[in-house]
Structure 1
Amino acid sequence: MPDASPPRGTAAELAASIAGDIASGALPPGQHLAAQPLADRYGVSRFPVAQALRHLASQGVVVAEPRRGFFVAADAVARLAGTTPPPAGLSATYFAIAEDRLSGRLPDSISEAAMRERYGLSKGALAQLLDRIAAEGWAERRPGYGWRFSSVLTTPDAMGQTYRLRQAIEPASLMEPGYHLEPATVTRLRLVEQHMLAGGIETASADALYERGVRFHEAIVGASGNPFFLEALQRVNRIRRLLVYRSLVDRRRFWRQAEEHLAILDLLQQKRQAEAAALLREHLGHVVESLEAMRPLMEQGNRGPEPTDTP
């Protein structure tokens, strides 16, 4: 029997994050919600994942199947419509850290004590956030003293470099011998894009928007059967996340992206690989153009703290 008592702390945050991703279409109906992948995705342990899933099951948002685990309910989005999510909590702090880093208000190196004081966090909450940040590749623990933040992806130029790399490897993956995208995968990806065009672009969290794009591109590249293409893309996706969040402020470009995603799926479904590869290369080029247009916004942080900021 699912636990109907409201979750607290990390489990409450996690339940809200999972619900948000379900509402946005990033976790579509029927999706298996395995504990370890969810723990990796949100940077937590398996224990709060289980608590969050039991709570969502009590609300009918997910379904618990004996000996199979939890799955997103068929009517999950309808059930979530009109509900008010709990306060953002750790998610808000995560984005505050990301923005402070991009804005130059966080130094390259900082102690955990200074982080706890700056953001008003407990040791446990900070550990969860830093574990997530480390997994995403923009910070690493310093031996014996605090954490060091990466400076690799804090500029639009670096962001453009990641997309040019993707332009080289992603279209090539579609031309691999034996390329095969499962019909069920096409259906799942199509539903997410249709949900985005139906209004999800405006309501999805930054996390959900990012994950939706990651899942689309990793799914079509993974269908190549060549693990080297997929591993290269996954590595790029982990380390580019930080700067992407600032680019999500302007969501107008996502309408075009969703339409292009659907067009790429149409071509792949028709086995027109060369045309799909050409459209994918053009699609990634459009993103580079959009990033250039947003360069002033993305460069805000490189000028250092505002005069009103305190040390």
Structure 2
Amino acid sequence: MSSAGERTVNGKRELTEGLAAQILEHIRSGALATGTHLTAQGLAERFSVSRFPVGQALQLLAAKGVLTHERNRGYFVSDVKDVSPETLGLSTKDDAAEVYFRIAEDHLQGRLPEPASEAYLKETYGISKAQLNAVLGRIAQEGWAERRPGYGWSFSPMLTTPESLEQTYRVRLALEPAALLEPTYRLDRDIAARCREAELRLLGGAIETDSAAALHERGVRFHEAIIGASGNPFFLEAVRRINRVRRLLSYRSMVDRKRYRQQCEEHLQILDLLERERNEEASQALRRHLEHTIGNLQEIRPILEH
């Protein structure tokens, strides 16, 4: 039997390697080009973890040659064309991610005590303190739990109903089409090409094989990329905040993947219009796209309420 110390060390190693694998896949998906400067804060927000494990993951990737490190400047993406987590010997086992989904499902089902002590959570989900800290840190950043000094953790009733998920989409409906009409709008060609490649990959079969988390991240990357091109950082910050808090029900909604082909095709249409600088039409297409998504939420309501 392994000791508590060994379990803690193994847990930390799995967390670091699991996060390093996620960062590598994020790079390889086309979201980050060679030479891109990586920041711990940006990745912490992307993967809903604290900066400390991100720093450890970046060090590991630099040691394996995926990143270069420049003193006083930070980490930069190297060529990752023929690199994968497997070829680097990175463990993709991520107990923390599995527990995250179990806690999310228990929260949606109303099975968690209020408040829930850390001792209760460790025992219930069978994980180490390091893994629990990673999970709770992610949940806290997403906005559906907060620490209660001396009383454990409280889980928010927000974003546990189909109505709350629809409300997030209605806010996006007000914001995102408007961002495409900003006078400073400029979509970088390389970013557009990477977005297109990601959509074509899904249409080529990845819709059925990608994890729920990967599908969610692909959608987040697309929308943040086209909104980020507005030149107005307030649009992007608002959309990012919404994306962080809607994960809880978005993951569950991905049980039904039939609608993703249409979403990919609509994304490609929006990209085509933006690349041709037909932003008014792209804004209208984006509005229709979000309206279709809101309509689809009604069709999958039984899944969201399960």
**TM-score (norm: length of structure 2):** 0.84
What is the Cα-based RMSD across aligned positions, in Å? 2.8
CA contact (8 A) 1:201 1:251 kept: yes
Query: Deviation of residue 161 (structure 1)?
Result: 1.4
What's the secondary structure of 2:273's corresponding residue?
A: helix
Query: Deviation of residue 79 (structure 1)?
Result: 7.8
* Structure 2 unaligned regions, length at least 5: 1-9
Query: Deviation of residue 167 (structure 1)?
Result: 1.2
**Distance in 1 of aligned mates of 2:162 and 2:48:** 26
Higher mean C-alpha displacement, 181-190 vs 166-175: 181-190
What's the secondary structure of 1:256's corresponding residue?
A: helix
Deviation string 1:161-192 (CA, Å, 9 cap, x unpaired) is: 11122112111121122322222221222222
Matches within 5 A, 1:42-121: 42-46=47-51, 48-53=53-58, 55-56=60-61, 62-64=66-68, 69-71=75-77, 73-76=79-82, 86-121=92-127
What is the letter of the counterpart of residue 187 of structure 2? L
Partner residue, 1:9: 14
Q: Does 1:41 align with 2:11?
A: no
Query: Deviation of residue 76 (structure 1)?
Result: 4.1
CA contact (8 A) 1:29 1:74 kept: no
CA contact (8 A) 1:22 1:77 kept: no
Q: Per chain length, whose mean CA-contact separation is higher, i.e. which structure has more relative contact order (CA < 8 Å, sep 6+)?
A: 1
Distance 1:147 1:53, change over 3 A: same
Partner residue, 2:168: 162
Deviation string 1:51-104 (CA, Å, 9 cap, x unpaired) is: 4345556666x24365662426342467869x9963231111111111111122
What is the letter of the counterpart of residue 165 of structure 1? V
**Distance in 2 of aligned mates of 1:292 and 1:231:** 28
Query: Deviation of residue 142 (structure 1)?
Result: 1.8
Query: Deviation of residue 158 (structure 1)?
Result: 1.2
CA contact (8 A) 2:100 2:135 kept: yes
**Distance in 1 of aligned mates of 2:78 and 2:167:** 36
Higher mean C-alpha displacement, 8-17 vs 238-247: 8-17
Partner residue, 1:238: 244
Q: Does 1:198 align with 2:204?
A: yes
CA contact (8 A) 1:43 1:129 kept: no
Q: Does 1:289 align with 2:295?
A: yes
What is the letter of the counterpart of residue 291 of structure 1? L
Percent of aligned pairs sharing the same letter: 53
Q: Does 1:279 align with 2:285?
A: yes
**Distance in 1 of aligned mates of 2:246 and 2:22:** 21
- Give runs of ≥4 in structure 1 deviating > 6 Å: none
1:152 to 141, 149, 158: 158
**Distance in 2 of aligned mates of 1:267 and 1:80:** 38
Higher mean C-alpha displacement, 147-156 vs 104-113: 104-113
**Distance in 2 of aligned mates of 1:197 and 1:123:** 40
CA contact (8 A) 1:63 1:70 kept: yes
CA contact (8 A) 1:169 1:229 kept: yes
Query: Deviation of residue 294 (structure 1)?
Result: 0.8
1:179 to 182, 185, 193: 185
What is the letter of the counterpart of residue 19 of structure 2? L
**Distance in 2 of aligned mates of 1:59 and 1:138:** 35
Distance 1:242 1:157, change over 3 A: same
Partner residue, 2:261: 255
**Distance in 2 of aligned mates of 1:84 and 1:203:** 20
Query: Deviation of residue 247 (structure 1)?
Result: 0.5
**Distance in 2 of aligned mates of 1:205 and 1:54:** 26
Deviation string 1:242-292 (CA, Å, 9 cap, x unpaired) is: 111101112222221111111101101111111101110110111112211
**Distance in 1 of aligned mates of 2:81 and 2:177:** 35
**Distance in 2 of aligned mates of 1:72 and 1:201:** 28
Matches within 5 A, 1:217-232: 217-232=223-238
CA contact (8 A) 1:153 1:242 kept: yes
Deviation string 1:4-62 (CA, Å, 9 cap, x unpaired) is: xx992321222333345456x264553544333223433445554354345556666x2
